[in-house]
Amino acid sequence: MTQQHERAIAVFGAYGHTGRFVAARLRERGWRPRLCGRDGQRLAELAAHWPDSETRVASVDAPASLDAALRGCAAVLNCAGPFGDTAAPLLEAALRARIAYLDTAAEQQPVLAAFERYDAAARAAGIVAIPAMAFYGGLGDLLATAAMGDWAQADAVEIAVALDGWHPTAGTRITGERNTAKRLVIENGVLAEAPSPSPTRDWAFGEPFGTQPVAAVPMSEIALLSRHLRTRGAVAYLDPGSLRDVRDPATPAPVAADDSGRSAQVFAIEARVRRGGQARGLGASGRDIYAVTAPLLVEAMERALDGRCRGHGVRAPGDAFDAADFLAALAPEPLRLYLRDE
């Protein structure tokens, strides 16, 4: 990709909290983010920080505006939730433009809908579409896939997240309010409604978290796993303190702790897979779940564009890429990877 226009990448929702990290990461990697969204004033305010930026006002309710926003771009990165509203219109626009589509959805339903409704069309168009390429979703899928390694199937896959606190963005709050669908887990090899109330268990994280209770809060990683890993069961957990934070309307939004805009929040995410009497585990730790989404998303986009992706269609990250190689490319910064003794 040597021509200048081929370096243009549309970032929809660029002025959102995660979108700003994504646009900055693209610039660091030599791409030209085209800042897109429905609020022209917020786009102009963001572009004032990067005077050479292109902006496009576009709305998911106006397909022609999306077509204009994506014209001449190599890919579109959808950072605007709730994804139940934005994923389908943006993916359809990417299909019309015949360019790669990636998003950061944590919700299960729009991810499953992307596979069910658009995989055949994406294959026919010769494009790659990767939903949920973010901290919640893609990272857990990659860790579980890498932990599976050469196993063709597993009895159980478990993913657990611990945060030292969760200061939710406005987008996270809106998504939580709008997402009333039943959460899904994998039972007996198929998707099934998660039990209510959510099961709890103790999980032995590494430092600084240690052993603590976690509750089953499956997100988009389960939707991704269901599309490519053979396992009889899969569930994802979150520490209850973070769950209380995100549900408390008084919890403040993230606060920048350095010039990059990252907060001081620290996280650990671990995947454990079991087969018979054998078990394997792999974990990652780092800082700021919103900020770390940007390198995950941009790494996936670059691999989708440069041929390091296994085929076309709607793909889960662990299916589209060499999971171990992908994770290694992000270590030791922004992710510190570690094996878990089982």
Domains of the chain: 4-134+293-320 (3.40.50.720), 135-289+323-339 (3.30.360.10)
pLDDT tens, residue by residue, 76-125: 999 999 999 999 999 999 999 999 999 999 999 999 999 999 999 999 99
Q: Look up residue 18 and give its two tokens.
A: 């995660």
Q: How would you class 121 by CB atoms within 10 Å of its CB: exposed for 0-12, middle for 13-18, buried for 19 or more?
A: middle
pLDDT at residue 135, as a whole number: 98
pLDDT tens, residue by residue, 288-309: 999 999 999 999 999 999 999 9
Q: What is the DSSP string of 64-131?
A: HHHHHHHTT-SEEEE--S-HHHHHHHHHHHHHHHT-EEEE----HHHHHHHHHHHHHHHHHHT-EEE-
Range 196-199 contact pairs with CB under 8 angstroms and sequence separation of 24 or more: 199/235
pLDDT at residue 340, as a whole number: 83
Whether the per-residue pLDDT at 241 is higher than 60: the answer is yes
Mean pLDDT computed over 48-73? 97
Whether the per-residue pLDDT at 165 is higher than 60: the answer is yes
Mean pLDDT computed over 45-66? 96
pLDDT tens, residue by residue, 170-208: 999 999 888 889 999 999 999 999 999 999 999 999 889
pLDDT at residue 1, as a whole number: 38
Task: Determine how many CB atoms are found less than 10 A away from the CB of residue 278.
Answer: 11
- DSSP assignment, residue 154? B
% of the chain surpassing 90 pLDDT: 94
Mean pLDDT computed over 240-257? 95
Average pLDDT of the chain is: 96
**342 pLDDT tier (thresholds 50, 70, 90):** low
Q: Are 334 and 286 in contact (CB under 8 A)?
A: yes
pLDDT at residue 6, as a whole number: 66
Looking at the whole model, is its pTM more than 0.85?
Answer: yes
Using CA atoms, how far apart are residues 60 and 44, in angstroms rounded to an integer?
19
Whether the per-residue pLDDT at 3 is higher than 60: the answer is no
What phi and psi values does residue 207 have, to the nearest 5 degrees?
A: -70, 145
pLDDT tens, residue by residue, 133-152: 999 999 999 999 999 999 99
pLDDT at residue 180, as a whole number: 86
Whether the per-residue pLDDT at 316 is higher than 70: the answer is yes
